[in-house]
């Protein structure tokens, strides 16, 4: 091979190597950006999950307190109805 042909081959090889290096650097930059976006989305997802959990806790009735409240209401209703039931029929319209 002549010196000129070797020089051209070396330049082509260097150009190709430089092009591959630039492509690699661009791919790495895109990867970094994608990873940052994923991290942002994951953080937002965690925040939304926490907010959903908080809202569900506010909305969902506490079964123990709901049962206690129902029992209190039933006792109050019973207390109000018993005197009406025990009255003679003629005194209901009084």
Is 94 contained in some domain? no
Is 47 contained in some domain? yes
Is 19 contained in some domain? yes
Q: What does pTM read for this prediction?
A: 0.53
- The larger pLDDT score, comparing residue 77 to residue 66, is at 77
Q: Rounded CA gap, 37 and 43, in Å?
A: 10
Distance from first CA to last CA of the chain, Å, rounded?
Answer: 126
**10 confidence band (pLDDT: 50, 70, 90):** very high
Structural domains in the chain (count): 1
At residue 93, the 3 state secondary structure works out as coil
Is 31 contained in some domain? yes
Containing domain of residue 47, as a range?
A: 3-88
What's the mean pLDDT in 17-22? 98
Q: Rounded CA gap, 56 and 59, in Å?
A: 5
| Residue at token pair 């009084």 | 94
């Amino acid at each position: 091979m002549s010196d000129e042909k070797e020089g051209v081959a070396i330049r082509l090889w260097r150009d190709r190597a430089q092009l591959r290096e630039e492509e690699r650097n661009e791919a790495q930059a895109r990867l970094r950006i994608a990873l940052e976006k994923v991290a942002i989305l994951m953080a937002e997802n965690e925040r939304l999950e926490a907010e959903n959990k908080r809202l569900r806790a506010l909305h969902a009735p506490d079964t123990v307190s709901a049962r206690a409240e129902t029992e209190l209401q039933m006792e109050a209703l019973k207390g109000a109805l018993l005197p009406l039931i025990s009255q003679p029929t003629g005194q209901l319209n009084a």
